[in-house]
Amino acid sequence: MASEQSKCGILTLAYIMIKPDGVQRGLVGKIIQRFEDRGFQLVAMKLVHASEEHLEKHYKDLKGKPFFPGLIKYMSSGPVVAMVWQGKDVVKQGRTLLGATNPLASAPGTIRGDFAIDVGRNICHGSDSVESAKAEIALWFGEQDATIPYTRAVDQWIYE
């Protein structure tokens, strides 16, 4: 499900991943809380210790970069939390919640601005487009039944 028409309008999906540094530092709950506080709905989540092969597929667009081997080694060093979030404009708004890729360029109040310093340990990953979200969700959760649709009572207080 890439988007869902509801009484709230068009709801899209975003893939958000808490990286090994975020898991090891015990930030999973705080990061989830930020997305829930914003009004987004968690529709899929799992703890994964990804293989290098899987991570190479995820980061295929960075393969030629000099930092690629270190990125794969770091990302495979421990578990990550793979999540799918649903909401209006969730890809763009989710990236705003995360902050700039370089934490030093991230505004205070963003996840990276509050919890990270180095670009190589920037806590989380977020889809950069709706198309990327579709591909990342398929890679991490599979094509079928990736998400669990459900209605929240609170949605009437979030969406018109």
- The pTM score is 0.90
Range of the domain at 109: 3-143
Catalytic residue among 49, 54, 58, 125: 125
In a domain, 155, yes or no: no
Alpha carbon 78 to chain centroid distance? Answer: 17
In a domain, 149, yes or no: no
In a domain, 153, yes or no: no
> Has 58 been annotated as catalytic?
no
Alpha carbon 16 to chain centroid distance? Answer: 1
* Burial class of 142 by CB neighbour count within 10 A (0 to 12, 13 to 18, 19+): exposed
pLDDT at 1: 43
Per-residue pLDDT tens listing for the chain (160 residues): 444 544 455 899 999 999 999 999 999 999 999 999 999 999 999 999 999 999 999 999 999 999 999 999 999 999 999 999 999 999 999 999 999 999 999 999 999 999 999 999 999 999 999 999 999 999 999 976 678 888 888 888 888 8
pLDDT at 146: 74
pLDDT at 129: 97
In a domain, 38, yes or no: yes
Residue 101 among known ligand-binding residues: yes
Residue 151 among known ligand-binding residues: no
Residue 112 among known ligand-binding residues: yes
In a domain, 152, yes or no: no
133: CATH: 3.30.70.141
In a domain, 76, yes or no: yes
pLDDT at 145: 66
CA–CA distance from 63 to each of 14, 35, 57, 75, 83 (Å)? 23, 30, 9, 14, 23
In a domain, 116, yes or no: yes
pLDDT at 8: 52
Residue type, 62: L
**Domains in the chain, number:** 1
In a domain, 132, yes or no: yes
